Amino acid sequence: MTEELAGVPVRDIGPAAIRPVPAPAFRAGRATNAWAGPETTALAFGHPEVDAATGGLRRGALHDISPAGAPDMASATGFALACAGLLLAAAGRDGLWLWVRAEMAGREAGEPYGPGLAAFGLDPSRLIAVTARDTTDVLRAAEEGLAARAFAAVLIEPFGDDRHLDLTACRRLSLIADNGRSTGILLRTGGVPGPTSAVTRWRVAAAPSRGGGRHPGNPVFAADLARNRLGPVGMWTMEWRSDEQSFRAPRGGFQAEGPGPLAIPLSGRLAAASGDRSPRSAGSAAVVPFRGR
Question: Is the residue at 22 inside a domain?
Answer: no
State residue 30's pLDDT score: 38
Residues in the chain predicted with pLDDT less than 50, given as ranges, are: 1-39, 259-263
pLDDT in tens, 23-73: 443 344 434 444 444 445 899 999 999 999 999 999 999 999 999 998 999
Coil, strand, or helix at residue 106? helix
Question: Is the residue at 139 inside a domain?
Answer: yes
CATH number at residue 144: 3.40.50.300
Query: Rounded CA gap, 197 and 204, in Å?
Result: 18
Query: Rounded CA gap, 85 and 81, in Å?
Result: 6
State residue 28's pLDDT score: 42
State residue 238's pLDDT score: 98
Question: Is the residue at 203 inside a domain?
Answer: yes
**Structural domain count, the chain:** 1
Neighbours of 270 (CB within 10 A): 6
State residue 277's pLDDT score: 56
Coil, strand, or helix at residue 8? strand
Question: Is the residue at 225 inside a domain?
Answer: yes
Phi, psi of 268 (to 5 degrees): -160, -165
- pTM to 2 decimals? 0.75
* E strand map for the chain: 4-5, 8-9, 42-43, 57-58, 62-67, 97-102, 127-132, 153-157, 184-187, 200-206, 220-228, 234-241, 246-248
Which residue range is the domain that position 168 belongs to? Answer: 43-209+220-250
